[in-house]
Amino acid sequence: MFFSRGPNKIKNLHTLKDIYDFYLISVGENELYKVSFKTFKNIITKYYLAILDDILYKGVEYKLPYRLGQIRIIKRKININNLTRFGIDWVESVKHGKQIYHLNNHSRGFVYRFKWIKQNALIPNLYFYKFVPSRMIKRKLAQVIKNKQCDYFE
């Protein structure tokens, strides 16, 4: 049984293969710039990893092309008054007989996250979109914070 996308969903998905096909059309007859799909994919992957390294290890605010906004990592102090937002440390809670929460002592009480700054972005219906980094990128950020390799904006 096949369930199609709903009537209000995006039906025109653009994948890396579509971008490669557009690249080949834009290059035209010039043999100097034609590359295989594997080479094209490697170039795109290395480019995105270089951007990610700048954001993670240098604390750079990356400006997205075509006025789509900026992406950066921000940190903010934990609000101790609202502890229910944090996970319970079950090992310590069982030892002490009361609920004890994870307070991010390894990061001096700060919470870090990716922030898409979209005030100047030119996108229709902008507030229906959000930036969700992949799990690999979140794990890299956690590793950078744990090893204290970079400090970010507050």
Average pLDDT over residues 95-116: 81
pLDDT over 90 for what percent of the chain? 32
51's enclosing H/E stretch is helix 37-58
With bands split at pLDDT 50, 70 and 90, how would you rate the model's confidence at 7? low
Could you tell me the residue range of the domain that residue 33 belongs to?
16-76+109-146
- Whether residue 100 is predicted with pLDDT greater than 70 in this model: the reply is yes
SS3 assignment, position 101: strand
Alpha carbon distances (Å) from 69 to 13, 23, 29, 129: 22, 24, 35, 12
Average pLDDT over residues 4-24: 75
pTM attached to this predicted model? 0.71
pLDDT top residue among 1 and 11: 11
Task: Report yes or no on 38 lying in a domain.
Answer: yes
Task: Report yes or no on 142 lying in a domain.
Answer: yes
Task: Report yes or no on 30 lying in a domain.
Answer: yes
pLDDT top residue among 21 and 80: 21
Average pLDDT over residues 93-117: 82
Please state the domain count of the chain. Answer: 1
Output the pLDDT for position 13.
65
Output the pLDDT for position 62.
93
Task: Report yes or no on 103 lying in a domain.
Answer: no
Output the pLDDT for position 12.
63
Output the pLDDT for position 1.
47
Strand order in the sheet with 70-77: 62-63, 70-77, 110-117
Task: Report yes or no on 101 lying in a domain.
Answer: no
What does the alpha-carbon distance between residue 68 and residue 112 come to, in Å, rounded to a whole number?
Answer: 22
Task: Report yes or no on 94 lying in a domain.
Answer: no
Kindly provide the residue ranges of all beta strands, DSSP E only, lying in the chain, ordered along the sequence: 62-63, 70-77, 110-117
Structure tokens at 50: 């270089």
pLDDT in tens, 35-94: 999 999 999 999 999 999 999 998 889 999 889 999 999 888 877 776 666 778 888 889
